[in-house]
Amino acid sequence: MKRSFIEVPVASHFPIQNLPYGIFSKQDGKKRIGVAIGEYVLDLSALQEEGILEGSYFQSDSLNAFIATGRSEWWKVRAVLQELLDENSTQLRDNQKLRDSVIVPQKNVSMHLPVSIGDYTDFYSSKEHATNVGTMFRDPNNALLPNWVHIPVAYHGRASSVVVSGTSVRRPCGQTKADEAELPSFGPCRLMDFELEMGCIVGKENSLGEPVPVEQAHEHVFGMVLVNDWSARDIQKWEYVPLGPFLAKNLATSISPWVVTLEALEECRVAGPKQDPEPLPYLKQNGEWAFDIELEVKLKTERMGEYSSIAKSNFKYMYWSICQQLAHHTSNGCNLRVGDLLASGTISGPTPETYGSLLELTWRGTKPIQLSSGEERKFLQDGDSLLLTGSSVRDGYTIGFGEVEGTILPPLIDEKLLVER
């Protein structure tokens, strides 16, 4: 098994088999491109400045220029980096001065958004999640709408409010309507929630008017990130008919700072759920395009000293694959661009502990979660912090995504605008 001369802890998400890309800065604040290796960052901007890596695409504050070089260049750079970091390679291992200038402890850096995101689309591709929501809000006997098993349902989100892990999220104010009220009111969200998701970063563009065939869709994916799509459930309930989510979802979407490439995830591919009815020909895919990635959600309140696990799920539960999502997205000729984010939608499994939102975990607030501090939660309160992790244990190593974390801040309230009924 390939190993690095840099010591990598056994449970590390970032062995030499992974090498995810990210944007970091040191004390000078300048954004640089690097890959994670164990507890360190390998500075690719510096390696390119030294002439060890060709080109100039790592002299940037986002990954977009590198991603735009294409798949053959991604493979080439990955091979060079794995050779450079190999335990038997002397070029970097035995050059202490070079090592000191290009290898930085992760604890000494700040992480930033890895890509410049032009557009963001959020899918709704977990059958279990869609069934749970339909059961709660509509008819339990007809939980799924008729189109759900035929198309990967989605809505367009807001790219400007996608933030990197560690960014606090302010509780939104919005318009809501209680079931018993005659008229709506305006005020802070009362039902603040998270959504456990994963997202793919588009790596290859298609021209306007030219659909991407499902069998070629994977060629248009650079890599994947963890996603927490924060959700204001009470705002969503009032606004979503007839055009779907708006202010309830575009308040913030948090992503992990490291982009794990599709090449690194190759051994994580598994068969997805059986699709019945059979998809239409433009969505019918060959091969296994689900991913065995174990996911966990942890919650910490202001009274708790450490995080407590509240849910565990797996990306392999997704009914619609990333290839089907991308093929459907472009089937009308919609042009995707390098750096676009396509999120999976909430990832829920078949049992209550695998549900990917508080809406489901507490079943609309009727079954509060009991925490180790003695507190309970139906939905998120101000000061609560969420941490999502994802990893896939392989034979002798782990391919991981690190984490995506965020804390709920109190709302900014203009008292003159509050309307309570």
Q: Catalytic residue positions?
A: 129
- Secondary structure of the chain in HEC code, one letter for each residue: CCCECCCCCCCCCCCCCCCCEEEEECCCCCEEEEEEECCEEEEHHHHHHCCCCCCCCCCCCCCHHHHCCCHHHHHHHHHHHHHHHECCCHHHHCCHHHHHHHEEEHHHCEEECCCCCCCEEEECCCHHHHHHHHHHHCCHHHCCCCCCCCCCCEEECCHHHEEECCCCEECCEEEECCCCCCCCEEEECCCEECCEEEEEEECCCCCCCCCCCHHHHHHHEEEEEEEEECEEHHHHHHHCCCCCCCCCCCCCEEECCCEEECCCCHHHEECCCCCCCCCCHHHCCCCCCEECCEEEEEEECCCCCCCEEEEEEEHHHCCCCHHHHHHHHHCCCCCCCCCCEEECCCCCCCCHHHCCCHHHHCCCCCCCEECCCCCEECCECCCCEEEEEEEEECCCCEEEEEEEEEEEECCCCCHHHCECC
How far apart are the C-alpha atoms of 151 and 185, rounded to whole Å? 35
